[in-house]
Structure 1
Amino acid sequence: MRTQDPVIRPVGLETEYGVLQPGNPYANPVAMASNLVAAYGAVSRPGLEADGAPAAAVRWDYEGEDPLADLRGGRLERAAAHPSMLTDDPGHLAPSGQNDPQAEHAEDLPPAPWGNRPRPSAAEEALPRATTTVLANGARLYVDHAHPEYSSPEVLTPHDAVVWDRAGEVVAREAMAALAAGAGGVVADEVVLYKNNVDGKGAAYGSHENYLVDRALPFDTLAGALIPFLVTRPVFAGAGRVGLGQRSQRAGFQMSQRADYVENDIGLQTTFNRPIVNTRDEPHADSSRWRRLHVINGDANRFDTPIYLKVASTSLLLWYLERAHERGEGLGQIEALVLTADPVEEHWATSRDVTLRHRLATAGGPRTALEIQRGYLAAIRQALVADGLDGEHAPA
């Protein structure tokens, strides 16, 4: 979607918050998240209806949801989909991708101390019926895979993406207070929300970005350019994490919270065998013209600068690719940055290399993550100058 301003495009950010009940490590996360959403829904729209009743929460219309559409073309058959992928049924909350992120080793793990429990539990049976609400600012707060998730309103600039993502933190704090007060008739409870991506014990949850992209751009071109960019982006957008491995098996610090949970290069799934390039395609627009790029390997950031940089840099790259395709240039100058080694292993290695000395194998020879990012910067800067969109001539 090329515009006069290279960073102008519809963007939305999503954050699944970690949820915890102090003093009760075995509290049901589905129940906590559902009660939290219901409580906030009761207070999210101040004022009264025409009949004097409290303003009702606005529910979500699932009719346009299509979680099985694939960027590569076609659609996964519903019968073949993992249950965690079926997020379009408000009557049945989609489960997490698997009970343990390292399910292939699950037989080696000790049994849970509380034994087997029937599902749904009594707490889940008593859940509020409404597990999603549309907020006054155009965002959405809902339960996604046992986490409260804030999905920002669509915006057009990186600056606004920062503003409305940070607004989600205000919503999270107010939702905690609403639940503590028992708003909307929900049983009062104390929970704490964390804007992070991992619990350090094997579970991961997402902080996703969404970008509207011209469908004319070939998927292979898009994926080829995105993989080295997303693999190395943690050098300026990583949130940082203590622990190496999905279950923090080894001590150490790394740049990205999400990297250790990435296990594939390209795929439709988001909760298991997670890919670098996710192919879920729900543009919520004219699908003959647009596709939605759903980025799932990024981190939940607490500082404005990395939020701004990750959205702005990704938007600029998409502008560059759409421009190059229109001109028949393919990947253009960034052809040399394409990774030639396993991108998943490079993602892990890059995140764990806090010295920035690891050299990734690319079509143009070994490069550090910082050198790859500088390669993108140089190519995009040259295109901006050629179009008169550099600092001196860019539109206001």
Structure 2
Amino acid sequence: MEKSFTTRSLNIPFPKDDPHRALDMPIYESIAFDFASSEDIAANFRGELPAHVYSRTSNPTLEYFERKMKTLTGAHQALAVASGMAAITNTILSLCKTGDNIIAGNHLFGHTFALFSESLTNYGLQTRFVDTTKPEAVEALIDANTRLIYFETVTNPQLEIADIEALVALANKYHLVLMIDSTITPPVVLNSKKLGVHVEVMSTTKFISGGATSFGGVILDNGLYDWSNNPNTAAFAAKFGPDAFISKLRKNYYRNTGASMTAHTAHYQIMGLDMLELRVERCYNNCMVLGEFLQKHPKVVKVTYPGLPGTPGYELAVKQFSGKPGTVMTFDLESQEACFKFMNQLGIIRRATNLNDNKSLIIHPYSTIYIEFPEEERLAVGIRPSMMRLSVGIEGAADLMADIEQALAKI
């Protein structure tokens, strides 16, 4: 019988034995690393002697975090980076070039949408946005220059869920990379490799950091894609075989754009992995209690959380995430004015923009995260003036419910 996520996380061995038999991986803050001889350092630079040289390219503490991510997810390779956005950007740059196109979900995190629709277009990379819950619509956009299909496992804040296996089948049919952002559904609830996903990225700032302790991101190669099929990785595939993608990242974009995670951040993320299962379970239970409470409240117009039976996406949440599609929900009041009045009365739930903190956080996406988008674009992607996003934390469920109840009573 397979051991629990927490047990496995706590018992992953260090890459090398610690001379002092420390229980926790030491934080290697050193920038550079010494070699025993001139011959050794020369051999390392020729690629013949694996060793840490300079912490922007590799570091012992990062190596252990990457080992934990790789072991816990079953991935073939893992690469830790400075943020979730760095994970997305580095992956896209490694797999695409000018003249290529990618197909992406039309309901994306605001900054990801801006990256695809603004930043990358300046370099001749086209993004074709589509409803990824409709595989036939995705297939209609594929052509000879398409390199990958990208979507979020649960969209933020629309909370829509695409059929991962259907999109995997489509990507395999056309020899494309299937890339997902699993930030809202951490590895405790999602095993992307079992579903056939090729590349998984996530913001480890969220759940994995242990509760907003540090910025971070990770790129996982599940070892399921033949990198010779992508013209932008074919040369690396000839030399590095199944390690082509991560090798290209390490030798090019990751190294040359300075996207590395710090050793101190890696330490926080290592500790966060050990507590991840406990936090997710607590947040999910709170989410269910609050969702059921809000559904019955007369002042609440609409509640969206795909963990609730009868909510759109519930069946796929059960199939893909064991019924635990993250711990973010949205709910609507009668107007933006009502939302602001409600939020201003909250005492325990904080007004802040983050997800999966230990603290419960609420935000009004229409007036904040998406404020730079024209009104018609906000409405087109389901960002309503009457909607709030609630990231549910680990406080007592009864305390959170009481906080919401007293705030609703004052509007």
Same fold (TM over 0.5): no
Q: Which has the higher helix share?
A: 2
TM-score (norm 1): 0.28
Identify which of structures 1 and 2 has the higher relative contact order when contacts are C-alpha pairs closer than 8 Å and 6+ apart: 1
